[in-house]
Amino acid sequence: MVIRPATHAGSWYSNNPAKLKTQLEGFFHKAKKLEHSLSQEKVKESIHGARVLIGPHAGFAYSGERLAETFTVWDKSKVKRIFMLGPSHHVYFKNSVLVSQFNEYETPFGNIPVDNDTIDELLSIKSSSKSRGPVFKYMSSEVDEDEHSFEMHAPFIYHATRNLPQGTPKIIPILISGMDDKLGEDLANALLPYLANEENHFVVSSDFCHWGQRFGYSKYIPTKNDTSITELGSNLVDLGMFQRLSSNDLPIHESIEFLDKFAMQIASDGKYHEWRNYITTTGNTICGQKPIGVILRLLELFTESQSQSQSQQQSLPPSFKWIGYSQSNAVYKPNDSSVSYASGYVVL
């Protein structure tokens, strides 16, 4: 039994089970009192069919409220395994995605089992391109332990499922780095057979815009009137560190929010190619942009397969619905920085 240690416990979040439980219960309590951004209803119960989730992966002081919103709406009634898609923060690789070789993920509450049997199935899948090898490969233990994409969700998953009659679900961490259209299509097709089964759930780990010189991104939109990606791209400017804004200019944090919510609306429309176009046009530093793109393409393929099997006209794919949005701090000056966070889900 090889266990991945909770390497960020004690720094990014508490390693004390009692303190962590109190913190998470506070986050969940606040989430259940929120007015839902779409239905304007209280988020008190899980939403039937909400088995594709998205949430951030920062320290809980920044991301905890958004993660609690995500895992509050989660329909846990049939879950047995979770495919977790997250971006690589420390190493670059391409032509394949990486899966965990650990047997369990440690959390301060207890360990979450890794679905090694499903991972074995994934490792056998070959690329549709003869010039490439397998779609999935193992990540090294060092890469796995350094990465925080999955670990930051793990305590919430354990806490939210601790009393399920079917037990704590198994996880399949899938780490994504360099990804061209071919790999994205191969990954979406590899996951497609699993999506139809209600026992299989999917979690995207992603922050939104990383803004500021230290992130290499200082795009600014002077107006919020843009209605198309092309129009948005033509109006984006790059703020220099020492550039001054007048009192009449749009505050930078509002520009960041507009860029993020433009992206969130595209994800709500459910069109993979529009998502790709948005990222190319704006360069928005959404760290989980590729995992989000994979899910959008997966949902398109799922809708196509459902329509074909039922001999029906193809409908629009299910798409993201959003609950909450926040920023680590409000940016007013070009030499400031911030990271954005959002919570959301897809109903199948």
pLDDT in tens, 225-263: 878 999 999 999 999 866 777 777 899 999 999 999 999
Using the predicted structure, report yes or no on whether residue 309 has a pLDDT greater than 90: no
Q: Is the pTM of this model over 0.85?
A: yes
Residue 32 lies in a domain: no
pLDDT in tens, 54-70: 999 999 999 999 999 99
Q: Which of 55-59, 96-100, 303-307 has the least mean pLDDT?
A: 303-307
The better pLDDT of the pair 254, 270 is held by 254
- Residue 84 pairs in a beta bridge with 173, 203
Distance of CA 20 to the CA centre of its chain: 22
High-pLDDT (> 90) share of the chain, %: 83
Secondary structure of residue 218 in the 3-state scheme: coil
Residue 190 lies in a domain: yes
Q: Region 333-344: what's the mean pLDDT?
A: 95
Residue 225 lies in a domain: no
For residue 102, give the nearest of 115, 90, 92, 89 by alpha carbon: 115
Residue 5 lies in a domain: no
The string of DSSP letters for 83-144 reads EEEEE-SS----SSEEE---SEEEETTEEEEB-HHHHHHHHTPBPSSTTS-BSEEEPPHHHH
- Residue 223 pairs in a beta bridge with none
Residue 71 lies in a domain: yes
Residue 306 lies in a domain: yes
For the chain, the helix, strand and coil percentages under 3-state DSSP, each to the nearest 5: 35, 20, 40
Domain containing 287: what range? 40-213+251-347
The string of DSSP letters for 139-170 reads PPHHHHHH--TTTTTHHHHHHHHTT-TT-SPE
Q: What is the pLDDT of residue 43?
A: 59
- How many domains, in total, are found in the chain? 1
Q: Region 257-276: what's the mean pLDDT?
A: 95
Q: Give the mean pLDDT of the chain.
A: 93
Domain of residue 59, CATH code: 3.40.830.10
CA distance 304 to 307: 5
Contact indicator for 249, 223 with CB cutoff of 8 Å: no
Tokens read off for 132: 């490439």
For residue 304, give the nearest of 183, 202, 185 by alpha carbon: 185
pLDDT in tens, 201-216: 999 999 999 999 999 9
Residue 59 lies in a domain: yes
Residue 121 lies in a domain: yes
Q: Region 289-313: what's the mean pLDDT?
A: 88
pLDDT in tens, 116-167: 999 999 999 999 888 889 999 999 999 999 999 999 999 999 999 999 999 9
pLDDT in tens, 2-47: 999 999 999 999 999 999 999 999 999 999 876 544 444 455 578 9
